[in-house]
Amino acid sequence: MSNEATLHSQEVIHGAHAHDHGHDDHEHHHEGGFISKYVFSLDHKTIAKQFLITGIIWAIIGAFFSVLFRLQLGFPDATFPWLESILGHWAKGGRITPEAYYALVTMHGTILVFFVLTAGLSGTFSNLLIPLQVGARDMASPLMNCMSYWAFFLASVVMMTSLFVQTGPASGGWTAYPPLSALGDASIGSKIGMDLWLISMALFVVSQLLGGLNYISTILNMRTKGMTMTKMPLTIWSFFFTAILGVLSFPVLLSGFILLLFDRHAGTSFYLSDLFVAGKALSNEGGSAILYQHLFWFLGHPEVYIIILPAMGMVSEILAVNSRKPIFGYLAMVGSMFAIVILAFLVWAHHMFVTGLNPFLGAFFVLLTLLIAVPSAIKVFNWITTIWKGNLRFTPGMLFAIGFVSTFISGGLTGIWLGNSSIDIHLHDTYFVIAHFHIVMGVSAFFGTFAGVYHWYPKLFGRYLNNTIAYIHFWITLIGAYLIFWPMHYEGMAGMPRRYYDYSSWESFKQFTDLNHFISVVVIVVFAAQLMFVFNFFYSIFKGRKVTSTNPWSATTLEWTTPINPGHGNWIGEIPEVYRWPYDYSKNGKDFIPQTVPLSPDEEKEGH
């Protein structure tokens, strides 16, 4: 009740609709029409579902794009007539054109990094879990929360539109480096598609900021009685740090984009200098393309932690619940996440070692980059010690959480190589980089997302996902992910550059023809497995096995004290009070003790 008092006590004296803020009938209000319940809903749980389903749709599109360009990479000489029927002149004669290839690669990166793993992942679970796990009726500002989703929706509409314009979507890479992205004459992907990309991304930043503000002020202000910061589940800590990273780094990206828009349309020269396009010299002078890279990577690097931190938080929670053991090193987990947040802002130039960066300066960025290995290793150690000798329950969520730890280790280790500026000279822009970031960021974050979806699906929809499909989904995805990305390390070490359209014409890379062929086949299989998950997801909303107990996983956290299908307001009656941290598993002969159970006299003596 405490927070509601703060929120509403000073508010308006209502004339006609005074019942709106009656505190006891939260179960019943906002049961209005379809529009206010499902479309412009203010309920954080509905907004979470909106983010999730929009994210799933984008994930299908983004992953399908990767299947298309893998067809080109794996079968450079083959033709697929059906491609022409879906892509038209972008695949004349059944072979993807170079322009289409770059467009597909660019959109694959943009969609997955921003629309799926940022909005779809932290948008979904921050919205769902923050109010439920800290004990709040809703976000600090439900209206801003709703606006956050609809800004994301608008960004999605604009990005989707750009796929259908005549000159195609942006195709200068997801990083949109100038001068390619700044000059409409430089390539067809730099025309209207690039403008739509920038507009869409600006809307996306707005969405992230509105969401992030809400997450932070909800966590700091709206916790229920007894929920001190150190009694919060690690999920909440991770969403908190994610939001801080987003709120501080996305505005810098926006300022970079604003300057880029001026360069494109107002004739300014922030990023442009001494350029010749189509044989003509441009009048732009004195700009610096490197400046954009600094602004971009100042967001770009925190962005990878924006993606991975929520996954880390959810994995910590799921591992503890399904090992029936307290998380190992709670404060070390929080401290290492804090260290990651600080370091995230200090390492951006490791993306720019080969831009002519002063090697002396580069040495500091190497050192700071390698320092990230310390908090990462602490977290990995703690996850492993959490499941060590635990009473493991291999639910699908648990399997994906363990899979996350596996991919995070194998992808994280290659980061130590790439963080060295001297090794990076050889490996920069090769398939080694692709392998590294796909495993450590892409696959791991997806595993975190899947773990979260399987674990909290009962809370989202009051039903379970089908377990058999879930196990098939897990094993194909885990094995497939390694089969796809592991070989890419070898290709990268052999110097195979990324972003090339056809490797078969290069003497040095002909040896990889069969390997590329193999990777592409696995990509298709893994994509099919993801479609099985999508089927499972939508089928189970309506036909899944019903949840019969409010706490199906025997977990300690507050979201499992709500009704199976909570209404807007989450709890009927008073919000429960919290007395203990969220990891009291297998304690004093009890399997688990919910956070809402007061300390026993013995425990109080221990000075908990």
Partner 1 sequence: MDAMSLQRNKIHPHKYSLWIAMGSITMMFIGFTSAYVVKRAQANWFTFQLPFIFWISTAVILTSSATIQMAVEQFRNRNMQRYKQLITLTAILGVAFAACQWIGFKQMTDMGLPLNGPASVSFIYVIVSVHLLHVLGGVVALLIMFGRAFRTRVRTYSAVPIEVAATYWHFVDGLWIYLLIFLSIAR
> Minimum distance from CB of 343 to partner 1 (Å)?
17
289 or 434: whose CB is closer to partner 1? 289
Amino acid, single-letter form, for residue 375: P
Burial category of 539 from C-beta neighbours within 10 Å (exposed 0-12, middle 13-18, buried 19 and up): middle
Identify residue 54 by its one-letter amino acid code: T
> Is there binding between residue 152 and partner 1 (CB under 8 A)?
no
One DSSP character per residue, 538-554 reads HHHHHHSPBP-SS-TT-
Distance, in Å, from the CA atom of 359 to the CA atom of 364, rounded to the nearest integer, reads: 9
Q: For partner 1, which residue of 47, 155, 252, 399 counts as binding (CB under 8 A)?
A: 252
Of 287, 313, 412, 569, the one binding partner 1 (CB under 8 A) is: 287
Half-sphere exposure of 65 (CA within 13 A, CB side): 22
Contacts of 64 (CB under 8 A, 6+ apart): 527
Kindly give, in sequence order, each residue whose CB lies less than 8 Å from that of residue 127, ignoring residues fewer than 6 positions away: 44, 45, 47, 48, 51, 139, 145, 211
Contact characters 265-284, partner 1, x per CB under 8 A? -xxxxx--------------
For the chain, what is the radius of gyration of the CA atoms?
A: 25
Decide: is 541 part of the binding site for partner 1 (CB under 8 A).
no
Smallest separation (angstroms) from partner 1 to the CB of 211: 11
Q: What angle do CA 539, 543, 546 make, to 5 degrees?
A: 125
**Smallest gap from residue 340 Cβ to partner 1 (A):** 18
Q: If you ran DSSP here, which 8-state letter would residue 394 be given?
A: -
Residue 13 or 35: the one with the smaller Cβ distance to partner 1 is 13
The distance of closest approach from Cβ of residue 90 to partner 1 in the complex, given in angstroms and rounded to an integer, is 34
Minimum distance, C-beta of residue 436 to partner 1, in the bound complex (Å)? 27
Among 147, 248, 282, 515, binds partner 1 (CB under 8 A): 248
Q: Considering the rule CB under 8 A, would residue 33 count as an interface residue with partner 1?
A: no
Q: Which is nearer to partner 1, 209 or 434 (CB)?
A: 209
The single residue among 291, 332, 373, 479 that binds partner 1, judged by CB under 8 A, is: 291
Binding mask 204-243 for partner 1 (x = CB under 8 A): -----x--xxx-xxx-xxx---------------------
Q: Indicate whether 112 belongs to the interface with partner 1 (CB under 8 A).
A: no
Site for partner 1 in 293-312 (CB under 8 A): 294-295, 298
Please tell me whether residue 441 binds partner 1 under the rule CB under 8 A: no
Could you tell me which stretch among 44-52, 168-176, 224-232, 257-265 binds partner 1 (CB under 8 A)?
Answer: 257-265
Interacting residue with partner 1 among 254, 318, 341, 418 (CB under 8 A)? 254
Complete DSSP assignment for 279-299: TEE-S--S--HHHHHHHHHHH
In the complex with partner 1, the residue whose CB is nearer, 292 or 454, is: 292
Strand pairing partners for 585? 592
- Give the CA distances from residue 243 to residues 55, 210, 551, in Å, rounded to whole numbers and listed in that order: 18, 10, 28
Query: Which backbone phi and psi does 203 adopt, to 5 degrees?
Result: -65, -35
Using CA atoms, how far residue 292 sits from 103, 344, 364, in Å, is 21, 18, 21
CB of 24 to partner 1, least distance (A): 16
Tell me the C-alpha distance between 30 and 37, whole Å.
7
How far apart, in Å, are the Cα atoms of 325 and each of 258, 451, 560? 49, 18, 18
Decide if residue 184 touches partner 1 (CB under 8 A): no
Select from 255-263, 396-404, 461-469, 491-499 the region that touches partner 1 (CB under 8 A).
255-263
Near partner 1 in 3-22, by CB under 8 A: 3, 5-7, 9-16
Q: Are 142 and 42 in contact (CB under 8 A)?
A: yes
Specify the residue, 91 or 206, whose C-beta has the smaller distance to partner 1.
206
The 121-150 site mask, x for binding partner 1 (CB under 8 A), equals: -------------------xx--x------
Q: Which SS3 state, helix, strand or coil, does residue 432 take?
A: helix
Measured distance CA(223)–CA(226) in Å, rounded: 8
Total residues contacting partner 1 by CB under 8 A comes to 53
Q: How far is the CB of 146 from partner 1 (least distance, A)?
A: 14
Q: Which of residues 42-101 bind partner 1 (CB under 8 A)?
A: none
Give the other-Cβ count within 10 Å of 4's Cβ: 17
Question: What residues make contact with partner 1 under the rule CB under 8 A?
Answer: 1-3, 5-7, 9-16, 140-141, 144, 209, 212-214, 216-218, 220-222, 247-256, 258-259, 262, 266-270, 285-288, 291, 294-295, 298
